[in-house]
DNA sequence: GATGAATGAGGGTTCATTCAT
DNA sequence: GATGAATGAACCCTCATTCAT
């Protein structure tokens, strides 16, 4: 008896987490419904509480999970082996495409920020995930400066925030932007144009001033 | 006597709208509480429905009101009289500072985007407010290109979205960014640095390629 | 000044009463909305209270008005001049058609009965309207008995209740009856059949037993 | 211990249904109060929604339940074994007494008709309950015609509607009728007289014309 | 006679959460 | 490890009615 209860447990936990992430992404923390999460995950409502304590615990778990996912994918780019401009170009492309393909990440972050980051404040898991990112970007900038391609004195965090901002804002705010400018921002062509625009903007932002 | 803060339709409506904007900004559409809005506006709860039909009507009114406000302030910059680079610098500065001083605008837009823009979809007031903005920015770009300062072929909308994105994302996501990078993004110094970074980034993005 | 304010007042009162009758008929006393009555009558809400005291006063006024109307129309039949069988046939036909053409009367009565007749209890106007009806029917029965067509000993009230019941119930309960029996009770043909059935039933009920 | 009246789904559901039926009968659909139903059933208010979705779902359930009850009792009369006249007499008696003893059925139907039968329209349970009734009555009429007691060509539905109407209307409208005719319709004697009147009326309606 | 603004009580419904098994 | 029944607080909204003008 009790054969691989552990495996089943993990599976249940995983299904709940996946359903929750979807739900939070779609409706925000406040709009998310515990009932819907239970139903979609095929788990009993009581199980959510068993595994995650409460709705907010579940929200935090989603957040951690998604942070871990993007940072993991990022590290697999192995940018330290590429020439600085190329490395930067790849990071920009990756970031844009990640947001595009994982819209739940964007909405999750918006929710957490609406709540002033109070869930992450209680988490020790998120912060460490980001040290490699800054190191990597710092390394690229240093190498670029040394070889004369990039300006000196660029703050890796400021640059990263720009890389993120240019895509994140476009996608996160696409509904209001579409209405406001009367254009569909999500056609294949529009997306291609935005990616090009972002790449240009970021590369222009770091390049050394011409003599 | 005259215990009435009431009996003045416009004033009552205005107080409700102000309180609602605050509330929606703080808690989002779903998290906002109609009771709190009523209480803070000093109006009877019934009045919210009298003037705005329902919670969502009130939300839309807030949104329209805030859009109208930023676009109005923007038009007062009178950028058409300035040299292109200076005009652009001012627009960047204005946008950054507006978000900084009116955080409610940022959260309001996030909420509307969480709901896929469905409130604005029913509004005819918002769209027209934005035509002058695009014209103005198009005019600046054209003048800059003509005088040789700016590149040709820049899409005013793409540029505007970048101007907005660089500040909006930094401020909107400051809670997660702070945790993630372990830095306080809201010190006076940090804000000054970000504004400088944004200005550089945008000006670099439009300047003509050196020969 | 104040020229024919009386005429206007009567007109306003009349429009309110008409709108109220419609509203009560459609939604019942509980479901009726004072706002809707005001709007449809084109009168200010305050006026309803001015003329009728409150919602229940308005309901009673509707009731009295409709009772007065049907009894008035009934008296115009001048049945006392007709042969007993013909007089009875006409009364049956009139009653059926009145309910058919004035469905509001039916719903109004149902509402009042749901409320155990407590509005009428306060009215002195309704009772006297019905004395002539009983006299008239009593007169018909007496004449019929004397000429040998009708049985003796029929209670005019019992008979009248049957005359009313046969049509009233069919029309009042047509929705449930239609569903329950799977037939449309309101086609022209169905209505003709019901009228014939009722006439037969009532005439059979009073005729003298064959020797 | 065992302070729980609860933890028994069927029992809870049943208590809610009983309380709801009473409440709807007394105040109509619009006038019924969910709070009162909860309180009287001893259940938590939330449970009404758990079992019946919403107030209208509860109303429909009451309706279905009461239809099922009357039709069930009716079938137990086993009229197919009786002589036609006796069978009809019993059906009339049963119908009258059922309305008398179950006034909630009458008010429930009135409510549903006020709402144009829209709840029943969504129910598949009610219709089938009535097929046996029509068959039974059709059978009685056929047997009566064959033996020469009854007329031919009587529509069972028309006859049933008359049987119902004669008692239903008297009881349903007893409040207005009492006021209007100035007589107490509910004394034991009055009820006996009405039952006799109805029986006579219905039997007269079907009997074969004398040669 | 007439108006629009205002009121407070309470309406149905939904929520995250916990209990008993 | 899992379940369905149960909870009570609170949410958005609507009501008949009245006040100030």
pLDDT tens-digit profile of D183-195? 999 999 999 999 9
Structure tokens at D109: 């139907």
Structure tokens at A3: 């054969």
Chains in contact with A, where contact requires at least 3 CB pairs less than 8 Å apart: B
- Written as six digits, the tokens of B168 are 């909006």
Answer for C50: CB within 7 Å of strand E: yes
Residue A46: how many other CB atoms lie within 10 Å: 9
Counting Cβ atoms within 10 Å, is residue A124 exposed (0-12), middle (13-18) or buried (19+)?
Answer: exposed
Asked if strand E contacts C107 at the CB level, meaning under 7 A, the answer is no
Buried b or exposed e, range C45-62, using 16+ CB within 10 angstroms: eebbeebbeebeebbbbb
Could you report the per-residue pLDDT of C104-140, keeping only the tens digit for each? 999 999 999 999 999 999 999 999 999 999 999 999 9
Asked whether residue C47 falls in the same domain as residue C65, the answer is no
| Residue in A closest to B154 by C-alpha | A197
- Which CATH number belongs to the domain containing residue A172 in this structure? 1.10.357.10
Q: Report pLDDT for C7.
A: 55
Kindly state whether residues C118 and C47 are assigned to the same domain: no
- Asked, for residue A211, whether it belongs to a domain, the answer is no
Task: With cut-offs at 50, 70 and 90, classify the pLDDT of residue A209.
Answer: confident
CB C27 within 8 A of CB D30: yes
Report the C-alpha gap between B134 and A181 in whole angstroms.
8
Domain stops at, among D34, D52, D70: D52
**pLDDT category of residue C211 using cuts at 50, 70 and 90:** low
What confidence tier does A210 reach under pLDDT thresholds 50, 70, 90?
low
pLDDT at residue C10 in the model: 79
Band of pLDDT at residue D210, cut at 50, 70 and 90: low
From D36, D38, D175, select the one nearest D107 (Cα to Cα). D175
pTM, two decimal places: 0.90
**What's residue B48's pLDDT?**
94
Neighbours of chain B (3+ CB pairs under 8 A): A
Write the pLDDT tens digit of every residue in B60-114.
999 999 999 999 999 999 999 999 999 999 999 999 999 999 999 999 999 999 9
Mean pLDDT taken over chain B: 94
Q: What percent of chain A has pLDDT over 70?
A: 95
Instruction: Read off the pLDDT of residues C155-174 as tens digits, 9 standing for 90 and up.
Output: 999 999 999 999 999 999 99
pLDDT at D49: 95
User: HSE on the CB side for D142, CA within 13 Å?
Assistant: 7
| C190/E19 CA-to-C1' distance in Å | 58
**Least-confidence region, from A9-18, A113-122, C1-10:** C1-10
Mean pLDDT of B138-162: 97
pLDDT exceeds cutoff 60 at B135: yes
Query: Number of folded domains in chain B?
Result: 2
User: What pLDDT, on a 0 to 100 scale, did the predictor assign at position B99?
Assistant: 98
Q: Is position D211 within any domain?
A: no
The answer to whether the CB atoms of B168 and A164 lie below 8 A apart is no
pLDDT at B7: 62
CB–CB of B91/B201 below 8 Å?
no
> A67-121: per-residue pLDDT in tens?
999 999 999 999 999 999 999 999 999 999 999 999 999 999 999 999 999 999 9
pLDDT at C72 over 90: yes
Do B176 and B199 belong to one domain? Answer: yes
Residues B25 and B114 in one domain: no
pLDDT digits (tens, 9 = 90+) for B44-65: 999 999 999 999 999 999 999 9
One domain, residues D76 and D127: yes
- From the number of C-beta atoms within 10 Å of its C-beta (0-12, 13-18, 19+), residue D7 rates as exposed
Q: Nearest nt to D3, CA vs C1'?
A: E20
Residues D87 and D191 in one domain: yes
pLDDT band at D43 (very low <50, low <70, confident <90, very high): very high
Q: Which of residues 16-75 of D touch strand E (CB under 7 A)?
A: 32-35, 45-46, 49, 54-56
> Is the pLDDT at D3 greater than 60, yes or no?
no
Query: Residue B70: what pLDDT?
Result: 98
For residue C98, being part of any structural domain is answered with yes
The dihedral over CA atoms of C123, C125, C131, C133, expressed in degrees to the nearest 10, equals -100
Beta bridge partners of C207: C150
Domain that holds residue B154: 56-206
State the pLDDT confidence band at B4, using cuts at 50, 70 and 90.
Answer: very low
Q: Is D32 left (phi over 0), alpha (psi -120 to 50) or beta?
A: beta
C-alpha A17/C-alpha A11 separation (Å) is: 10
| Cα dihedral value C180, C186, C191, C193, nearest 10 | -40
In a domain, A153, yes or no: yes
If asked whether residues D24 and D123 sit together in one domain, one would say no
- pLDDT band, residue D95 (cuts 50/70/90): very high
Q: Is the pLDDT of residue B9 over 50?
A: yes
Structure tokens at A177: 């932007």
* DSSP secondary structure code for residue B149 in this structure: S
D149: Cβ contacts below 8 Å, ≥ 6 apart: D84, D85, D207, D208
Q: Do D197 and C172 touch (CB under 8 A)?
A: no
- Could you tell me which chain B residue has the CA closest to the CA of A183? B157
Do D38 and D85 share a structural domain?
no
Query: Looking at residue A31, which CATH number applies to its domain?
Result: 1.10.10.60
A120 and A47 assigned to the same domain? no
| D42 and D60 both lie in a single domain | no
pLDDT at D69 over 60: yes
- What angle (nearest 5°) sits at the alpha carbon of residue A49, between those of residues A46 and A55? 120
Kindly tell me the number of DSSP H helices and DSSP E strands found in chain B. Answer: 11, 0
pLDDT digits (tens, 9 = 90+) for A48-70: 999 999 999 999 999 999 999 99
Chain C positions touching D170 (Cβ under 8 A) are: 161, 165
Q: Which residues of A170-203 are buried (b: 16+ CB within 10 A; e: fewer)?
A: bbbbbbbbbbbbeeebeeeebbeebbebbbbbbb
> What integer pLDDT is reported at residue B110 of this predicted model?
97
Residues A2 and A18 in one domain: yes
Q: Evaluate whether residue C211 is within a structural domain.
A: no
Q: Is residue A67 part of a domain?
A: yes
Assigned domain for A37 exists:
yes
Same domain, B143 and B194: yes
Of B11, B32, B52, the residue at which a domain comes to its end is B52
pLDDT of the residue at D163: 98
Does the structure show a pLDDT above 50 at A3? no
Q: List all nucleotides in chain F with at least one atom under 7 A from a protein Cβ.
A: 1-21
Mean pLDDT computed over D16-34: 95
Backbone torsions φ then ψ of D186, nearest 5 degrees: -110, 10
Say if the Cβ atoms of A126 and B179 lie within 8 Å.
Answer: yes
Q: Which one of B125, B162, B186, B208 makes the best mutation probe of the A interface by having the most chain A beta carbons within 10 Å?
A: B162
Q: Three-state SS across B68-107?
A: HHHHHHHHCCCHHHCCHHHHHHHHHHHHHHHHHHCHHHHH
What pLDDT score was predicted for residue D209? Answer: 76
Does A1 or C63 have the greater pLDDT score? C63
Contact of chains D and C by CB distance (3 or more pairs under 8 angstroms): yes
Interface test with D, best of C95, C205, C208, C209 (most D CBs within 10 A): C205
CB proximity C211–strand E (7 Å threshold): no
Kindly state whether residue D132 falls inside one of the protein's structural domains: yes
């Amino acid at each position: 008896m009790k054969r691989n209860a552990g495996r089943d447990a993990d599976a249940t936990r995983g299904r709940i987490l996946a359903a929750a992430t979807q739900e939070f992404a779609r409706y925000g923390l406040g709009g998310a419904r515990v009932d819907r999460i239970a139903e979609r995950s095929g788990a009993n409502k009581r199980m959510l509480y068993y595994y995650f304590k409460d709705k907010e615990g579940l929200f935090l778990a989603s957040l951690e999970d998604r942070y871990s996912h993007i940072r993991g994918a990022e590290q697999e780019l192995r940018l330290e082996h590429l020439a600085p401009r190329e490395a930067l170009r790849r990071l920009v492309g990756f970031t844009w495409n990640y947001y595009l393909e994982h819209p739940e990440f964007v909405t999750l972050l918006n929710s957490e920020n609406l709540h002033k980051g109070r869930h992450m404040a209680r988490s020790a898991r998120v912060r460490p995930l980001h040290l490699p990112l800054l190191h990597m970007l710092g390394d690229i900038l240093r190498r670029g400066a040394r070889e004369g391609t990039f300006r000196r004195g660029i703050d890796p965090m400021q640059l990263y925030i720009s890389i993120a901002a240019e895509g994140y804002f476009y996608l996160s705010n696409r509904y209001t932007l579409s209405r406001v400018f009367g254009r569909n921002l999500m056609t294949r062509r529009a997306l291609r144009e935005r990616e090009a625009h972002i790449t240009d903007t970021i590369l222009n932002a770091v390049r050394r001033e011409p003599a």
